[in-house]
Amino acid sequence: MAEAARKEEKKIIDEGLDVGVQNLTEERIEKVITRVLKGESGARLKAYIETCVHCGLCSEACHYYLSHDKDPQYSPVGKVKQTLWKMLKAKGKVSAEFIKDASEIASTQCNVCKRCAMYCPFGIDIAYMMLTVRRICHLLGVTPLYIQDTAHSHAVTMNQMWVKDDEWIDTLQWQEEEAQAEIPTLRIPLEKEGADIMYSVIGPEPKFQAQLLYQAAVIMDVAGVDWTMPATPGWDNSDMAMYTGDNEIMGRVKRAHFETAARLRVNRIVMGECGHAFRSVYDMGNRWLGWRMPPIPIVHAIDFYYELIKNKKITITEKFKEPVTLHDPCNVIRGGGLAEKARFVINAICEQLIEMHPNREHNYCCCAGGGVINCGPPYKMTRMDGNRIKAEQLFAAKSRGAKILIAPCHNCHSGLEDINHHYGLGYEVKFISDILYDVIEKPS
Amino acid sequence: MHSIYAFVSGPLAWLAFIIFIGGCLYRLISLMVLVHRKEKFIYSYMSLKYSLRSIFRWSMPFATENMRRHPALTIVAFAFHICLILTPLFLLAHVTLVEESWNISWWTLPEGWAEMMSLIVILACGFFLMRRLVNPEVKYVTSASDYILLAIVAAPFITGILVYYQWFGYEILLILHILSGEIMLVAIPFTRLSHMLFAPLTRAYMGSEFGGVRHAKDW
């Protein structure tokens, strides 16, 4: 009965999937599934599949499951059942329609946040299995249209948002000029070889959040950091190819990024408040290129702010007054261990931090990450219905006085804006840098 | 009847143990070969400290968030696994058999304890069965094989306790008991019961990733 009900609510039109499946033949499906499951995958997948005792204990880790009144089809293992188990059982002999459903499940009903890995008694990595399904769907050309377009952008421009080479430089110079109205000596140093730090951002910052570049430039300037930004492709640290299963493009994009930093001979790469980009440079992209850890040290914005405040490079004039709550993004907290540093920073710049519960590693996902928000408007309601639990969690923090929601990750930020609107929570969603920029001492 | 007993307790028992030990070695070695051939990078992330941290944490009742969320299951699962492993190893009747054959013996459980522990295993199997039948999230991912596995695990204990009570059909039950024990041994390496072999490995790997790379807790 539950299955029928779910079919009813599925009326999503996505050309990436609808047109993609028309090009499939049963032979091609079987060939690709065999290539990925037998060829590309190895011991991990085998051990995960054969160790899982179907106990269902991962269920309560998943925000989709909790938000859908504990519908087992949304449990992590439930999603593996609907995708990988069937592919394995049928030895790749599955229908085109099955691939379409599998793509939708893996790409839009899982944020690969790995919360379930903390709930499985065996530590089975279900996110990895969902990414394996996405890989299969990618090789079959059945990926949601919007995120596929983003992956194309990466392939063509080495950035996520089709930002042209001159537009990038132009945007930086525009923000430099803007900031010079506030601090006349401020520069956004381009192509400064031998600088200590290369600052990298994601494509959406120059595209439509240029004020974040401004804020970063002011923070860097005030702190007296020896920094630079590249004037060539390779400036973008984001990576949607990682989430479509297009590992080859992921590798190209990451190589461009690391090589740009190497060309500029910087000691470290500092990145803006983005989670998936951190995963890409610190966890997945570097590994694809054969680097155990990033070839050039990567410092996430949270870590960088922590360092600036701890070393007294910046002075806080007056703490931010309104009570804030903090959303712990999966990729930098569960994926990077920055939970306590984030709290150090927030407590240094805000008067009152009201914790949401659960928090830190156990925080509920934003439901936007893992490429899900990048699958575009067709799946907005998938994200809203799929994360009622987040709204409840945020509402509870609000009822204890929180007014501002800090989300130090782009995907989380955008996803939580949507949750905030859809459920009428009345938060103002901010990055850490929005507040940091406001409260630091600047030359007058 | 006697010749059947001689067969199941003789050649078949040898065969079962050979398949069990050989099968376990085969599964572990072939997994390692697969790691070596295709995912060598896994070695570079393995950390003894974080592997043990994770294994130790997940071996302690109620030491993880999810265990605290499911107190009944946690108690049952721990009791089940402890009794499942200890009872056959330290059962007086089993040790006596070994002693008769090879003249070696070791400490044995008092009979009352062994009885209690066998009952715990059987009741726990009943609990797991109920979970599979009643809990929607478990039911959804349950197939026939899961019930068969549960039956394979419960059978040696059900027959064992019946043999111990000697209510009826002692000889046939004894044969069934030995047979079901052999089936379970053979099943371990080749079914999902192989989590006995693989769970410490997956746990160690995830523990290493969380501890060494992600700098986060995996519980």
> pLDDT tens digits for A42-93?
999 999 999 999 999 999 999 999 999 999 999 999 999 999 999 999 999 9
Tell me how far CA of residue B124 lies from CA of A130, B81, B129, B192, B200, in angstroms. 32, 9, 8, 18, 22
Over residues A379-429, the pLDDT tens digits come to 999 999 999 999 999 999 999 999 999 999 999 999 999 999 999 999 999
Q: Where residue A11 falls among pLDDT bands split at 50, 70, 90?
A: confident
Pick the CATH number of A2-143 from 1.20.120, 1.10.1060, 1.10.10, 3.60.21: 1.10.1060
3-state secondary structure B183-202: HHHHHHHHCHHHHHHHHHHH
CA atoms lying within 13 Å on the CB side of residue A397: 28
The whole-number pLDDT of residue A336 equals: 97
B205 contact residues in A (CB cutoff 8 A): 44, 123
From first CA to last CA, the distance across chain A in angstroms is 67
What pLDDT was estimated at residue A10?
60
Q: Is the pTM of this model over 0.90?
A: yes
Residue at A35: amino acid letter: R
Put simply, the answer to whether B141 touches A42 (Cβ < 8 Å) is no
Determine the pLDDT at residue A9: 57
Q: Which residues of B touch A125 (CB under 8 A)?
A: 206
Q: Inspect the interface and report whether the beta carbons of A117 and B192 lie closer than 8 Å.
A: no
Instruction: Check CB contact under 8 Å for B218 and A123.
Output: yes
**Could you say which of A124, A283, A287 has the minimum Cβ distance to residue B202?**
A124
Q: Say whether pLDDT at A8 is over 60.
A: no
pLDDT at residue A5 tops 70: no
Residue A6: pLDDT band with limits 50, 70, 90: low
Distance CA A374, CA A108 (A): 9
Which of A36, A41, A46, A54 has the most B C-beta neighbours within 10 Å, making it the best mutation to test the interface with B?
A54
Contact of A278 with chain B, judged by CB distance below 8 Å, is answered with no
**Spatial CA neighbour of B58 closest among B212, B193, B199, B216:** B199
Q: Which whole number is the average pLDDT over A215-230?
A: 98
Pick the CATH number of A324-439 from 2.60.40, 3.40.190, 1.10.287, 3.40.50: 3.40.50
What structural domains and CATH numbers belong to chain B? 2-213 (1.20.950)
- Where are the domains positioned within chain A? 2-143, 149-310, 324-439
Cβ-nearest to A51 among B39, B141, B198:
B198
ipTM greater than cut 0.90: yes
- Strands (E) located in A395-434: 404-406, 428-430
User: Burial letters for A301-331: b for 16+ Cβ neighbours within 10 Å, e otherwise?
Assistant: bbbbbbbbbeeebbeeeeebeebbbbbbbbb
Q: Which residue has the tokens 């059909």?
A: B169
pLDDT of B37-62, one tens digit each?
Answer: 999 999 999 999 999 999 999 999 99
Cβ proximity of A159 and A230 under 8 Å: no
